[in-house]
Structure formats: C-alpha cells, structure tokens
Amino acid sequence: MADAPKPRVPVKAGYFTVPENPSEPPRLLGTKCLECGEHYFPRRAICARAECLSERTTDVEMGPRGTLYSYTFVHFPLFGSMRVEHVGYGVGQVDLPEGPRVQLPLAGKQEEYRVGMTLEAELEPLREDGGRDVVIVRFRPIGAAS
C-alpha cells in the first residue's frame, strides 16, 4: 500500500500558503496598501512609502509566478546546516507581478537559470516533524526567458 502524503506545515508561519492539494503551487503572503495600492512582502502594518504611510492595509496572496531579476549559487552550507544538498544551493531575486521583489532559494542547478525568465513557487520538504513535513518555499523555472 502506497504511503499517504504527509500533512505539510510551513517552516515559519505567515510567509506563504501550504495548499491542501500538493500539485497546487504555494502563494506568498503579503500586504496591499488600500490608500496607494503598493504591495509588500512579507506582511506589514503600515505602508512604507514616505508619501503615503497609510495604516489602511490588507492581507493579500501574491504570485505564484514571477520574473527572475538576479540569481546565484552559494558554494558553502547554510549556517549550522548538516545537509549535503544545502551546499551549492541557489538564491534568486524574483519580481512578482504585484510589484514586490522577493529573495528566496532556487531549485535545481545554476545552468537552468537566466535573468528575465519566468519562475514559479513550489514547496520543498526540509525535514519531518511528528509525522508532518516541514516545508520551505522556493522558486523553479517554468519556461524560457522572454
């Protein structure tokens, strides 16, 4: 009998959704200013624009797709990490269609990436905790650069 998929929990609450359906991409949890329309990631209470500073803000879900602004692959492990796959991990800055630029890990290999290409968010299981998968959000290419 095949194992049923484990329930998933975010590594940190309040940054991204964890859809019930595993084939559905996660969305990033942000804020929209109701006064000027600026969007932010992560969530914040007050609009950051010096000209606005409105407290009239609301929670929004953003993405899951965005455009790659820049990327790198880091050749040493995360602080304190014992996981071999964390050597050579990718990091990218991705411009979301709503406006914010987000900086998150990238899946795959350096050769797969080019500035300007479209990426999509996905969830990566990091470890198991009490029968649940602890997941982090990262990006992966979906197609060629425009």
Partner 1 sequence: MKNVAVLGVGMSRFGMWPDKSNADMGREAGMAALKDAGLSFRDVDASFVGHIFAPVMSGVRVMKEFGLTGIPVQRIENASATGSAAFAEACWAVESGRYDAVMVLGFDKMTAMIADSAAATDPANLEDAILPAGFFALWATRRMHERGTKAEHLAAIGAKNFNNGALNPMAQRQSKDKVTVEKVLASRMVAWPLTAMMSCPIGDGAACAIVGRPELARKLNPGRPVVKVTASHLGSEKYARGHLFMGPVVGPAQMTIDGAKSVYDQAGIGPKDLDLVQVHDAFAIEELEYYELLGLCAPGEAEACIERGDFELGGRVAVSSDGGLISRGHPGGPTGLAQLWETTLQLRGEAGARQRKNARTGLCHMMGGGSVCVIHVLQRD
Q: Is 12 in a helix, a strand, or coil?
A: coil
Residue 91 found at the interface with partner 1 (CB under 8 A) = yes
Q: How far is the CB of 18 from partner 1 (least distance, A)?
A: 14
Contacts of 136 (CB under 8 A, 6+ apart): 10, 11, 105, 123, 124, 126
User: Which residue of 18, 60, 117, 134 would you call a contact of partner 1, by CB under 8 A?
Assistant: 134
Dist CA 66 CA 99 (whole Å)? 10
Q: Is 38 in a helix, a strand, or coil?
A: coil
Return the number of other C-beta atoms located less than 10 Å from residue 5's C-beta: 8
Residue 139 found at the interface with partner 1 (CB under 8 A) = no
Residue 95 found at the interface with partner 1 (CB under 8 A) = yes
Q: Which residues bind partner 1 (CB under 8 A)?
A: 11-12, 15, 38, 40-42, 44, 48-50, 69-83, 86, 89, 91-93, 95, 99, 101-105, 110, 115-116, 126-127, 134, 136-137
